[in-house]
Each structure stands twice: as C-alpha cells, then as structure tokens.
A and B are shown apart, each in its own frame.
Chain A
Amino acid sequence: MASKIVTFTLNGRRIEVLVKPLTTVQTLLRDQLGLTSTKAGCKQGGCGSCTVLVNGDPMMSCLLPVEDVQGQEVTTLEGITPTPGLHIIQEVFYENFAIQCGYCTPGMIMVSKALLDRNPHPGREEIIDALTGNYCRCTGYEPIIQAIEEAARRMNGNGN
C-alpha cells in the first residue's frame, strides 16, 4: 500500500508527515521525528511508557495509527517542557523522587497532565485510577501518587 500524507498539530505546531499505512504514532515520533521522550516499553499497549495526549486525552501511541490523528492535536513530553525550566508536574516528580530508572516517567507525567487538566482537585483514588494503564517496574507508585497530589496543590496556588 502506498504511503500517505497526514497533517496534524504536534506540540502546538502544524506538521505534515509521510507515513506507511498503520505506522504508529510511537514509531513516527521516535524513528521519523527523533522525539524520543515517548518510550517503547512493550509496543503492545501493556506498559503506558509511550503515552501521549490527543486533544488532551492520554493515549498509548504504540496502538495509535498516524492516520487516526489527522487534524488532531498531539502533545508529547517535549511539548509540555518549558524553555527554560520545568512544568510544575516535572518539578514535583523531580523534587519528590517520583522517579527511579526513569523509563516510565514520561508516560506517568503525560497521564498526570491529562488528569490535572481535567480535574484540578483529584482525590487519591482518582489519581490511582488515572495511573492504571501505566506500569512502573521499580514499583515507585507511592511517590508518584504523592507527587501528583503535590502538583495539584501547587497548580492551585496552595503549594509551598
């Protein structure tokens, strides 16, 4: 099958890409565009390390054909990292040691971003629920949950 041109918004910028049918957003980002913050832990929708936002919703980019994001807005970790500095969520992950090997971190941060954009005051259960699809094999879930709680406080102006 012939390659197709797909147009969409990536990190706020409109781009046009040429992809073979069924190329995933993960493969496009990592191999074609060199945006490697999106990880490839399993390539089968099992680990969440490749989570990106599509119109603000978290999606596993390894299961997402590029054709499906035609005309949509895609955001990766590169897209939420300010220059210079860090996004509040990145700041709290860093300061609260919500990172160990770092491989699941980009996916965790993208899921947190989607959650906090939708729900600025999530309860602990809602945070746990949002992280269900994301796997941290270093089993650092507790500091991650606490970091998201802290991010919510800071984003709402109640942080220290």
Chain B
Amino acid sequence: MTEEKLNVVGQSVLRRDGLGHVTGKTIFIDDINFPDMLHLKMVRSPLPHALIKGIDFTKAEKVPGFIQALTHEDVPKNIYTILCLIGVGPDEEPVLAEDKVLYKGEQIAAIVAETEDAAMEAVSKVKIDFEELPTVYDVEEALKPGTPVLKHWGTNHFVYEGHHCRRVRFGDVDKGFDESDHIIEGRYQTSPVEHAPSETTGCVARPEPDGRITVYTNTQALFFTMDNTALILGVPFQKLHFVGGTVGGGFGGKVDVIVEPIAALAAMKTGRPVKYKFTREEEMRVSSSRGAWRIYFKDGVTKDGRILARKITTYADAGAYNRHTPYAVTKHAANIAGPYNIPNVWIDAYCVYTNRQPSSAMRGFGVTPASFALEVQMDKIAETVGMDPWAIRFINAYRNGDMKPHQKVVEDATLIEVMQAAAELVGYELPEKFKKMSSLNREEA
C-alpha cells in the first residue's frame, strides 16, 4: 500500500465556524429579523391533566398588535408522532391540544402579533375553561389498574409489536438463578435532566414569493424536522426550504419537532415571516428533558464472580407523549445487560406515559441511565462476592464472537482493552491474567 500524506487526520484543523464565533458574526436564530416579521407566543396549559371545555379569544383579540390566533382546527394533520418517519406509531401528540391536555405547559393555541410584547399580552388574555382530571406521575402507578388512562389505545404504555414492553429473552434465567451462589438485587432511579442549551429552541418561518416557506431553525435534525413539518402541514416536501446547521447547544434537546410546524403554519396564514422562539422559562419547563428511569436488577452470580443470570425490569418515564422515548427504550433494552457475557438474560423495558413534561433524546438516548444502574450494580456484585470491582468486570467481559442477549454477535468488543488502558492511566496494577486478556479471543479455561 502506498503511503498517502494525510491533510486532516493527525492534524489540528481550525474550526470552519470559529471565526464567526469569536467575532460574534455567527448568525443564530434570534439574530434573524425581517422588517415585517411577526412573533408567535403560545397559550399553554396551566394544568397537568384536564379537559378543555372552551377557549375565548375575545379579550386577546383586542390587544393592540394582535394579528391571529391559531388552534388545532387550523392544523391540517394535527396529531403526529415524530418517529412516524421510521415506522413508529400510532400518532398520538397534538401540535395544538384538542379536547384535553396531558401535561402542564402543553401547547393549546398560538397567538401571532406584531411584537413579542403584544403576543405575550394577548396570550395572557386568552380565557380557557378546563375540567381538571386526576393525574399520574409515577411509572409503576401508571401501569396499575384504576389509574387514569392517558392514551386513546387504552394503556399508559407504548405497544411494541403487540407487546406491553420491549422484551429480551435469552437462555433461562430461572435455571441460572438456581445454579448461582448469590442473588443480588438492586433498584435504581434517575432524575429528569434539562439540556438547558445556551440558545433556546426557536425558528423563523418566512413565506417566499414563489409560494415556498423558508424555515430558519436551530434544530439538530433538519431533514427529520422538515419531513414532519410537511406531513403536519399537508404540503409537498419541496414546498419547504429548511435552513439550519447553527445550533447554540443542543445535546438532544433540539431533535423534537415542536416550533417549526406551527411557525410555518402561521407564516402561511399571515403571509408574513413569523418567529417562534422559546423563552428561557419555556426551555426549562416545557421543552423535552432527559427522562427519569426506574430500573430493577436481579442477578445470579457464582462465588467466583461469574454472572449466570440477569433479570431486569425497567421503566422509562416518557412524560405525556412519545417524542423519541419509544426508540430510547429499545436502545436501553439492547444495552442494559451490559458489555458482559451472561448466558441467561430476561429484560422487560417499558415506555410509560405520565402527566409530566415529555422526555426525549439526550446524550446517550436511554443508554446513559442504563450504564449508571448497570455499573453501580456491578460494584454491588463485587462487594457481595468479595472481589475486586476490576476483576468482576474482566471475568464477565464479552469477547468477539459471543452472543449478546438481543441475539447479535459481538463483533467490536473493546471493553478489555479500554479497562487495561484505564488501569494504566490511573496507575492501578492489574494481575497478569487480566493484562494478557484480549477481546479478540477467549483464553483456555
């Protein structure tokens, strides 16, 4: 093979966007303004679960600068689910609430006005009659009979190909428990986390003379958002022109499709550019968060540290709507047993709906809470068995050629090499047998 000179790999290459950032000339969404631009602000639910009995815009319409109010009746395909593009269904989230709301802060009606202040004032004057409904906030409560049911299909969980949860079945866990010397259980609970990007979520939608709508947005998922927006608005994809790429922090918080469809609709209705950008409060209280997870482990382990059986029941709190959680649960289910070679694994992973602000993607997509619970559990195993936490992980580490619980052959194992490097970096002297291990093969017993 001839040796090629590499121009980028191995070199320190200055960022293309760096000069814009250090001079403040990078254009973020809030820096985009047009002379005839309108502002959109949202009427939101003050209640976590309620029926909407009526909406009265009379006083809002009298605010100087008020242009238009939009409700679900104005949205061509109001009920959607973001992941419909990869076959996830059924649709379940309204762009604007219809007869009920499922979380505090849910979008009910959009107010478009000449200025941000006028839009906010008009929002404050919209009167809504609610009938409050009982709420559910706990993932396990949500699955019990007699709990308020949030979804039109009659359950508080997502349905995976006809099943109540995402299931992994591998070997026979009961047999594994019988053959074990220790049964080690653990319950793990994580909290929701807000991404809190420095720049809040937002977009500007502008009608063009040729009938297209240009949407300047800080989404992290430009084409996904454009396709969903086209479906919601019932327009051909080529009618939309999405401009993006500059994101003032996202971390997964800007992959949902929330501001663009309604701003584009408002631009179509008014024939003027419309800006819809979250306030900091909206970003904190209304935008999707990382979900809270509750994870139960039951492990069967021999006295010399081999994990023979692992049974996991895990619940993702999706909040009120899907967003990206059904997918996060699938990723979670594929990763929660860990990078370990365990002959018997049983996993039930639930995507549960509650009256909380929807959760969605955030760095790791369901895998981060899995790793947290899993590795604390591994330490707990080490402590119970009376072994070094490093040893427990080397003994159980998977190797290339092993079968993962979700029936995929391991092809890219690096756990052993990563642990060897980590031990060296922290100055921990590993026993010779662990230093000699390799992910590529399994040594003779």
What is A's interface to B at a CB cutoff of 8 Å? 30-31, 36-44, 46-47, 49, 76-78, 81, 86, 90-91, 93-95, 97, 99-106, 109, 135-138
Tell me, in angstroms, the Cα distance from A93 to B18 when the chains sit together: 9
Q: Which residues of the other chain, A, contact B8 by a CB distance below 8 angstroms?
A: none
A102 adjacent to B31 (CB under 8 Å): no
Shortest Cβ distance from A107 into chain B, in angstroms?
A: 9
Tell me, in angstroms, the Cα distance from A152 to B28 when the chains sit together: 30
Q: Which residues of the other chain, A, contact B18 by a CB distance below 8 angstroms?
A: 94, 97, 99
Whether a CB of chain A sits under 8 angstroms from the CB of B76 is: no
A101 adjacent to B14 (CB under 8 Å): no
Tell me, in angstroms, the Cα distance from A137 to B15 when the chains sit together: 19
Shortest Cβ distance from A136 into chain B, in angstroms?
A: 7
By beta carbon, the residue of chain B nearest A47 is B198
Q: Which residues of the other chain, A, contact B89 by a CB distance below 8 angstroms?
A: none
> Can you list 20 A-B contacts with CB-CB less than 8 angstroms, sorted by A residue number?
A30-B30, A31-B33, A36-B30, A38-B24, A39-B24, A46-B280, A77-B23, A86-B22, A94-B18, A94-B22, A99-B21, A100-B249, A101-B248, A101-B249, A102-B26, A103-B197, A105-B24, A109-B22, A136-B198, A138-B249
B280 adjacent to A43 (CB under 8 Å): yes
The 8 Å CB contact of B15, one of A38, A43, A97, is: A97
Asked if A77 meets B247 with Cβ closer than 8 Å, knowing A42-B280, A137-B198, the reply is no
B22 adjacent to A137 (CB under 8 Å): no
By beta carbon, the residue of chain B nearest A136 is B198
Shortest Cβ distance from A42 into chain B, in angstroms?
A: 4
Shortest Cβ distance from B218 into chain A, in angstroms?
A: 10
Asked if A101 meets B279 with Cβ closer than 8 Å, knowing A78-B24, A86-B22, A109-B22, the reply is no
Q: Which residues of the other chain, A, contact B249 by a CB distance below 8 angstroms?
A: 100-101, 103, 137-138
Whether a CB of chain A sits under 8 angstroms from the CB of B408 is: no
Whether a CB of chain A sits under 8 angstroms from the CB of B199 is: yes
B 4-47 contacts with A by CB, 8 A: 14-15, 17-28, 30-31, 33
Question: Digit string of B194-237 for contact with A (CB within 8 Å is 1, else 0)?
Answer: 01111110000000000000000000000000000000000000
Shortest Cβ distance from A1 into chain B, in angstroms?
A: 14
Q: Which residues of the other chain, A, contact B200 by a CB distance below 8 angstroms?
A: 41
Shortest Cβ distance from A110 into chain B, in angstroms?
A: 10
The A/B interface has a contact count, at CB < 8 Å, of 94
Q: Which residues of the other chain, B, contact A36 by a CB distance below 8 angstroms?
A: 24, 27-28, 30-31
By beta carbon, the residue of chain B nearest A102 is B21
B23 adjacent to A101 (CB under 8 Å): no
B280 adjacent to A103 (CB under 8 Å): no
A95 adjacent to B14 (CB under 8 Å): yes
A86 adjacent to B199 (CB under 8 Å): no
Shortest Cβ distance from B43 into chain A, in angstroms?
A: 21
Tell me, in angstroms, the Cα distance from A105 to B246 when the chains sit together: 14
Q: On chain B, which size bracket covers the interface?
A: 20 to 34
B 76-114 contacts with A by CB, 8 A: none
Shortest Cβ distance from B245 into chain A, in angstroms?
A: 12
Q: Which residues of the other chain, A, contact B280 by a CB distance below 8 angstroms?
A: 41-44, 46
Q: Which residues of the other chain, A, contact B28 by a CB distance below 8 angstroms?
A: 36, 39, 103
Of B18, B22, B28, B30, the most chain A CB neighbours within 10 A belong to B22
By beta carbon, the residue of chain A nearest B251 is A137
Question: Digit string of B273-313 for contact with A (CB within 8 Å is 1, else 0)?
Answer: 00000011000000000000000000000000000000000
Asked if A104 meets B198 with Cβ closer than 8 Å, knowing A40-B30, A43-B280, the reply is yes
Shortest Cβ distance from A51 into chain B, in angstroms?
A: 11
Q: Which residues of the other chain, B, contact A94 by a CB distance below 8 angstroms?
A: 14-15, 18-19, 21-22
Of B195, B197, B200, B249, the most chain A CB neighbours within 10 A belong to B249
B 422-444 contacts with A by CB, 8 A: none
Of B20, B248, B251, B280, the most chain A CB neighbours within 10 A belong to B248
B22 adjacent to A99 (CB under 8 Å): yes
By beta carbon, the residue of chain B nearest A100 is B249
Tell me, in angstroms, the Cα distance from A104 to B25 when the chains sit together: 13
Tell me, in angstroms, the Cα distance from A61 to B249 when the chains sit together: 21
A103 adjacent to B199 (CB under 8 Å): yes
A41 adjacent to B23 (CB under 8 Å): no
B198 adjacent to A41 (CB under 8 Å): yes
The 8 Å CB contact of A101, one of B19, B22, B199, is: B199
Of A30, A76, A102, A135, the most chain B CB neighbours within 10 A belong to A102
Asked if A41 meets B25 with Cβ closer than 8 Å, knowing A46-B280, A97-B15, A138-B249, the reply is no
Of B17, B200, B280, the most chain A CB neighbours within 10 A belong to B280
Q: Which residues of the other chain, A, contact B246 by a CB distance below 8 angstroms?
A: 102
A81 adjacent to B199 (CB under 8 Å): no
Q: Which residues of the other chain, A, contact B15 by a CB distance below 8 angstroms?
A: 94, 97, 99
User: A37-B25, A78-B24, A103-B198 known; 6 other A-B pairs, CB under 8 Å?
Assistant: A30-B30, A39-B28, A99-B15, A105-B22, A135-B198, A137-B198
Q: Which residues of the other chain, B, contact A43 by a CB distance below 8 angstroms?
A: 279-280
Tell me, in angstroms, the Cα distance from A67 to B322 when the chains sit together: 48
B30 adjacent to A102 (CB under 8 Å): no
A101 adjacent to B31 (CB under 8 Å): no
Q: Which residues of the other chain, B, contact A77 by a CB distance below 8 angstroms?
A: 23-24
Q: Which residues of the other chain, A, contact B250 by a CB distance below 8 angstroms?
A: 101
A102 adjacent to B23 (CB under 8 Å): no
A105 adjacent to B21 (CB under 8 Å): yes
Closest 4 CB pairs of A and B: A37-B24, A102-B21, A103-B248, A103-B198
